[in-house]
Amino acid sequence: MKRLKAIVHGRVQGVGFRVFVLRHAQALGLTGTVRNVYSPTRHVEVIAEGPEDKLKQLLAQLKIGPSMSWVERVEVEWSEPTGEFSYFSIV
């Protein structure tokens, strides 16, 4: 089990990115959150916990995004899971 924190930069707000992440994370059985962040730049923050192989599958999808998005870059941080989440949600 691992924890993934990903900051997704580009055109990722107003294009259904959070719902895209929610659907993929739920399909993979991951727990965590996805949210828009507006300061200092507009980006999406994803925190997910689960098996490392499933997190890597989610990360691959984050680099693609939904059809209306444009992903410039993804900052990635790996750590040990905290177990604080019981499901995956948009916050």
Q: Which of 11, 36, 42, 73 is catalytic?
A: 36
- Which is the catalytic residue, given 3, 18, 23, 73? 18
Provide the edge-to-edge strand list for the sheet that holds 2-11: 70-79, 2-11, 43-50, 31-37, 88-90
Whether 18 is catalytic: yes
Instruction: For residue 5, give both structure tokens.
Output: 């924190």
Give dist(CA 5, CA 27) in Å, integer: 18
36 assigned to active site:
yes
Which active-site residues does the annotation give?
18, 36
